[in-house]
Amino acid sequence: MLNDLGKKADILDNLNEIKKIDKSGMLELQKKVPEFIQDAIERARNLVVPSDIEIKGKKLKYYNFSQIIGVGMGGSAISFDFLRSFLRYANVKIPVESNRDYNLPPYADENTLVVLISYSGNTEETLSCFLDAIEKGCPVVALTSGGILEAFCLKFGLPYVKLPSGLPPRASLPYLFFPLLIVLEKLNIHPSFEKETLAVVKVLKELKDELKPETLIIDNLAKRIAICLYNKIPLIYGHTFFDGVAYRLKSQFNENTKILAFPAVFSELNHNEIMGWEAADEKLIEPFYPILIRDPDEPPAIKARIEISRDQIILKKKKQVIEIMARGEGVLAKMFSVTYIGDFTSVYLAILYGTDPTPVDSISLLKSQLAERTKLKEDIQVKFDSL
């Protein structure tokens, strides 16, 4: 593996060269994730949630919820995907869904808790849903570092968690996810997630020493995976509570590495995607490199599906696959251990390509062009000013 890439791989052990490429310090942000988690929890503990709030004759009630709808885009929406997956295995008996749209679904009502996350506070889809939530009488909680979203919360006296500004949204996952657990505690949806969060911090602190730039390739799993993925397109295969994690890894390869990547989930992929490995022309398969997310405690049926797919189908077309084994105690620790490995991997792969992982020029261009063409934020501002 290393011989094929020759001297190019050596850059991953050269801290000076890494800093020349990673100009904005994405790797330094990755190293701070355990501390970010602890800070996010402390910030959320300051949240005060009222029993009800009246806006324009409508009373928003912060109790007796029938469902939770999380509104956000990109990294913000991923936090709700994580929450949904985690709560299914934490025995929390209230449905959670992510809403990546300009409007809430028609079944959202006064018993629907709407949690709006926009790191910048200016995400137009989220602001549009904010207006929809107020019109439907949905109780609202927000997470933001400022912007229009914060201004709306202040105007109406709505509860929100103030996040630190200045981070790339994708690097702020600790601030976008862990306050959600505190919100659930404060709303009496679940008594405490302290045990689970402590397990996450513990495993990530252990992993940080293995994954940080100072750790050489021979001992650094993320660097070795990045080398395997050089000039390849990652296919990330998750299962059970790793469905959101698989999508997060795909997104990190998109934003940090600036490459295409695709997620899929067992056992669904056994009913469709697995047939793609039968391509008559192997040139159609050659660019792809499968990554299997594994768990030492996999359910027997899932374990069998993964291993049959790997041994009897995929490895007949590929010389090897990558397996990322989850670590830590409990569902949440396992989810974040794989996420942490994937996050570091995406940055190291960017370094191999000579790509600064932080800028997202195409996203910035799109937002700029949309602002010129649609004037949606101005329309939303007018509607809120009329309330």
- Of 271, 283, 316, 319, the active-site residue reads 271
Residue 28 and residue 3: Cα distance in Å, rounded? 28
Report yes or no: 180 and 83 within 8 Å, Cβ to Cβ: yes
- Closest of 345, 329, 36, 20 to residue 211, by C-alpha: 345
C-beta atoms surrounding 332 within 10 Å: 25
- The catalytic position among 61, 190, 212, 367 is 367
How many other CB atoms are found less than 10 A from the CB of residue 202? 14
Cα separation, 149 vs 264, whole angstroms: 33
Burial classification of residue 243, based on how many CB atoms lie within 10 Å of its CB (0-12 exposed, 13-18 middle, 19 or more buried): buried
The active-site residue out of 124, 150, 196, 255 is 255
Q: Strand 160-162 vs strand 140-144: parallel, antiparallel, or unpaired?
A: parallel
Determine whether 255 is an active site residue. yes
Q: What single letter denotes the amino acid at residue 87? A: L
C-alpha span between 98 and 82 (Å, rounded): 10
Residues taking part in catalysis: 255, 271, 367
